[in-house]
Structure 1
Amino acid sequence: MKGITAISVQIWILTVFTLIANVALAGDPAKLTGKVTDKKTGEALIGVTIVVQGTGKGAVTDVEGRYSMIVEPGTYTINFKYIGYQTKSVSEVAVKPTAPTQLNIIMDEPKSEELREVVIRGSFKQETINALYAAQKNSAVVSDGISADLIKKSPDKNTGEVLKRVSGTSIQDNKFVVVRGLGDRYNTTLMNSSVLPSTEPDKKAFAFDIIPANLIDNITIYKTASPDLPGDFSGGAIKVSTKDFPDQQFLELTLGTGYNTQTTFKDFYSGPPKGKFDFIGFDDGSRKLPAAYSNVKNNYTNLETSQKIAISKNFSNTYGETKDGQALPPLSVQLSMGNSWTLKNNRRFGYIFAVNYGNSQTLRFKQRDAYLNTKEHTYSYHDEIYGKNRNLGSVLNLAYTYGKSKLSWKNFYNNDFNVNFTRRNGFQYDGTNLTTGVYSLNNETTQNGLFNSVLEGQHRLKSEKLRIDWNAAYGRSYRNQPDQRILAFFQRNPDQPFFLHLSNENSPAVNSAGRVFSNLKENIFSGNLNFTMPFKLLGESQQFKFGGGKVYRDRDFSVVALGYASNANGGSGINIDLDKDVNPGNIFSNANLDKYSIFLARIDMNTKDYEGIGDLSTGYLMLDNRLTNNIRLVWGARIENYHQQLKAVNQKTQDYNNTDVLPSANLTIGLSEQTNLRASFSKSVNRAEFRELASFRYYDYENEFIISGNPDLQRSINSNADLKFEFFPGAGEVLSASLFYKKFKNPIEQVNKGNDVLSFSNADAATDFGGEIELRKNLGFISQHPVFQGLTFYTNAALIHSSVDLQGVNKKTPLQGQSPYLVNGGLTYASSNNGFSMNLLYNRIGQRLRFRGEQEGLDTYEKPRDVVDFQISKKLFGNAGELKLSIADIFAQPVALYYKYPGSDKTAYNAGNDKVINAMKPGTTFSVSFRYNFMHHSSK
Structure 2
Amino acid sequence: MKKLLSLLVILLALSVSADNLFAQSTGKIAGKIIDQKTNETLIGATVVVQGTTKGAAANVEGRYVLGGLAPGKYTVEVKYVGYQAKSISDVIVKADAVTNLDVTLTESASNALGEVVIKATYRQESVASLYSRQKNSVQVTDGISADIIRRSPDRNTGDVLKRVSGTSVQDGKFVVIRGLAERYNVNLLNGSLLPSSEPDRKAFSFDIIPASLIDNIVVYKTATPDLPGDFAGGAINTITRDIPDTKFMEGTVSFGYNSKSTFKDNFVDPQPNGKYDFLGFDDGSRKLPSAYTNVKSNYTSGTSSLQKIEIAKQFPNTFGSQLQNTLPNLGLQFATGNSKTLKNENRLGYNFAFNYNTGYRISDGDRTQYNISAREQLPPYSFDRNVFSNVKTLGGLLTLGYTYGKNKLAMRTLFNNDFKIDYEETKNGLIRGDNDATPTLYRGFSSESTQNGVFNTLLEGQHTLGENKLNIDWAASYGLSYRNQPDQRIVTVFTPENAPEYISFSSENSPLPNTLGRVYSKLNENIYQAKVNATYSFKWLDELQRLKIGGLGYRRDRDFTIDALGYVDIVGNGKSIPLTNGVTVDNIFSPESIGQNNIAFSRLDLSSTDYTGTANQGAGYAMLDNKLTEKLRLVWGARIEYYNQQLDARGKAVRKYVNTDLLPSANLTYSLSDKSNLRASFSKTLNRPEFRELADFRYFDYQTNFNITGNPNLKRAVITNADLRFEYFPTGGEIISVSAFYKKFKDPIEQINLDNDILSYANAESAKDFGAEVELRKKLNFISDANFFRDITFYLNASYINAKVKFADREVSTPLQGQSPYLINSGLYYSPESSSFTFNVLYNRIGERLRFRGVTGSIDIYEKPRDVIDFQISKRILNKRAELKLTLSDLLAQTNALYYNYGDQSKTAYNPSEDRIIQNRYYGFSSTLSFKYNFK
Give the TM-score category using the shorter length.
over 0.9
1:83 matches 2:81: yes
1:526 matches 2:529: yes
Partner of 1:919: 920
User: Within 5 A, what are the aligned runs for 1:176-575?
Assistant: 176-266=174-264, 267-301=266-300, 302-323=302-323, 325-374=324-373, 375=375, 376=377, 377-425=379-427, 426-433=429-436, 434-491=438-495, 493-568=496-571, 571-575=572-576
Deviations 1:141-160 (A, max 9, x none): 00011111111111111111
Instruction: Decide which moves more: 911-920 or 691-700.
Output: 691-700
Contact 1:664 1:683 in 2 (8 A): yes
Deviations 1:680-729 (A, max 9, x none): 00011111111222233333334322222222221111110000000000
Cα 1:181–1:787, aligned 2, differ >3 Å: closer, same or farther? same
* Paired AA for residue 681 in structure 1: F
Query: Where do 4+ consecutive residues of structure 1 move more than 4 Å?
Result: none
Contact 1:368 1:703 in 2 (8 A): no
Contact 2:750 2:761 in 1 (8 A): yes
1:53 to 50, 53, 56: 50
Give the TM-score normalised by structure 2.
Answer: 0.97
Return the offset for 1:858.
2.6
Return the offset for 1:746.
1.3
Instruction: Decide which moves more: 702-711 or 468-477.
Output: 702-711
Contact 1:471 1:527 in 2 (8 A): yes
The separation in 2 between residues aligned to 1:51 and 1:297, in whole angstroms, is 72
Partner of 2:594, secondary structure, is helix
Partner of 1:96: 94
User: Within 5 A, what are the aligned runs for 1:59-138?
Assistant: 59-70=56-67, 71-97=69-95, 99-113=97-111, 117-138=115-136
Partner of 1:771: 772
1:22 to 14, 19, 24: 19
Partner of 1:33: 30
Cα 1:26–1:654, aligned 2, differ >3 Å: closer, same or farther? farther
Contact 1:803 1:810 in 2 (8 A): no
Partner of 1:593, secondary structure, is helix
Deviations 1:350-402 (A, max 9, x none): 11101111000111102122223213522111111111111100000011110
The separation in 1 between residues aligned to 2:10 and 2:581, in whole angstroms, is 55
Contact 1:637 1:663 in 2 (8 A): yes
Deviations 1:184-235 (A, max 9, x none): 1111111111111111112111111111112111110000000001111100
The separation in 1 between residues aligned to 2:491 and 2:698, in whole angstroms, is 19
Partner of 1:133, secondary structure, is helix
* Paired AA for residue 554 in structure 2: V
Contact 1:480 1:520 in 2 (8 A): yes
Partner of 1:695, secondary structure, is coil
* Paired AA for residue 910 in structure 1: N
Name stretches of at least 5 consecutive residues in structure 1 with no aligned partner: 936-940
Return the offset for 1:29.
4.6
Return the offset for 1:902.
2.8
Deviations 1:60-106 (A, max 9, x none): 11011111111122212211111111111112222222521111111
* Paired AA for residue 369 in structure 2: A
User: Within 5 A, what are the aligned runs for 1:569-584?
Assistant: 571-584=572-585
Instruction: Decide which moves more: 743-752 or 843-852.
Output: 743-752
Contact 1:875 1:882 in 2 (8 A): yes
Deviations 1:606-665 (A, max 9, x none): 111111101111110000000000100000001111111111222100111111111100
* Paired AA for residue 305 in structure 1: S
The separation in 2 between residues aligned to 1:579 and 1:831, in whole angstroms, is 69
The separation in 1 between residues aligned to 2:338 and 2:926, in whole angstroms, is 34
Deviations 1:142-184 (A, max 9, x none): 0011111111111111111111111111111111111111111
The separation in 2 between residues aligned to 1:790 and 1:89, in whole angstroms, is 27
Contact 1:609 1:649 in 2 (8 A): yes
* Paired AA for residue 410 in structure 1: R
Partner of 1:938: none
The separation in 2 between residues aligned to 1:420 and 1:855, in whole angstroms, is 35
Contact 1:29 1:248 in 2 (8 A): no
Contact 2:28 2:99 in 1 (8 A): yes
Partner of 2:16, secondary structure, is helix
Cα 1:775–1:636, aligned 2, differ >3 Å: closer, same or farther? same
Contact 1:389 1:417 in 2 (8 A): yes
Task: Report how many residues are paired.
Answer: 928
Cα 1:663–1:204, aligned 2, differ >3 Å: closer, same or farther? same
User: Within 5 A, what are the aligned runs for 1:686-697?
Assistant: 686-697=687-698
1:168 to 163, 166, 169: 166
Deviations 1:885-931 (A, max 9, x none): 01000001011111112337714111122122221011111110010
Name stretches of at least 5 consecutive residues in structure 2 with no aligned partner: none
Contact 1:752 1:858 in 2 (8 A): no
Contact 1:256 1:929 in 2 (8 A): yes
* Paired AA for residue 484 in structure 2: N
Give the % identical residues. 52
Contact 2:508 2:573 in 1 (8 A): no
Contact 1:749 1:852 in 2 (8 A): no
Cα 1:446–1:428, aligned 2, differ >3 Å: closer, same or farther? same
Return the offset for 1:526.
0.4
The separation in 2 between residues aligned to 1:799 and 1:272, in whole angstroms, is 48
Give the TM-score normalised by structure 1.
Answer: 0.97
Contact 1:254 1:335 in 2 (8 A): yes
Partner of 1:625: 626
The separation in 2 between residues aligned to 1:933 and 1:430, in whole angstroms, is 65
Partner of 2:9, secondary structure, is helix
User: Within 5 A, what are the aligned runs for 1:613-652?
Assistant: 613-652=614-653
Partner of 1:709: 710
Partner of 2:372, secondary structure, is coil
* Paired AA for residue 8 in structure 1: L
User: Within 5 A, what are the aligned runs for 1:571-610?
Assistant: 571-610=572-611
Instruction: Decide which moves more: 376-385 or 438-447.
Output: 376-385
Partner of 1:853, secondary structure, is coil
The separation in 2 between residues aligned to 1:654 and 1:391, in whole angstroms, is 38
The separation in 2 between residues aligned to 1:326 and 1:816, in whole angstroms, is 40
